[in-house]
Amino acid sequence: LPFAFEVIRRFPPVAGFASWDRRTNQHVLIDLLMASLDERGDGWGPSAREFRLRPMAEYHKKGVAWADQATVAGDNAHPFTRACPAKDLSIRMVVGFLRTFLRRGGQRCWRSTQRPSEIEINGYGSTTVALRHVC
């Protein structure tokens, strides 16, 4: 599970969380991608930009990918909660992909349709990559 959490921390499926104050018409965008790379002491520290497995307690304490901090009274169904309703689904998808990848031979049995130099990942999107099973 730490591997799945680290994948999601480094490459969050949702890069930003928008909100509007209807009274002032102020628009705020919380950059979840940058928060996941916060190198400050109360963030992920100097290793924030590295892919490093961490204790699960650290992911629960510092993680913002699903906006758990926006849950009202621990109730995801509360009308003012703004936490991700698909947190469990996203974790299951990453774990399911990794299980299938490893059970079907891992890196030696899969080839990308693109060369690494053709793949781009940034805060706004990424190149679509298809994997082909070759074993």
- Convert the pLDDT of each residue in 38-90 to its tens digit: 999 888 999 999 999 999 999 989 988 888 888 888 888 888 887 788 888 88
Q: Does residue 123 surpass a pLDDT of 70? A: no
Q: How many CB atoms lie within 10 A of CB 65?
A: 23
pLDDT given for residue 133 in this prediction: 94
At residue 124, the pLDDT reads: 66
Considering the chain, what percentage of its residues have pLDDT values greater than 90? 27
Residue reference for tokens 């928008």: 18
Looking at residue 27, what is its pLDDT?
87
Distance linking the first and last C-alpha atoms of the chain: 26
Residue that the structure tokens 């890069």 belong to: 15
- Output the average pLDDT for the chain: 86
When pLDDT is cut at 50, 70 and 90, the band that residue 103 belongs to is: very high
Residues 85, 88, 94, 98: what is their CA dihedral angle, to the nearest 10 degrees? -170
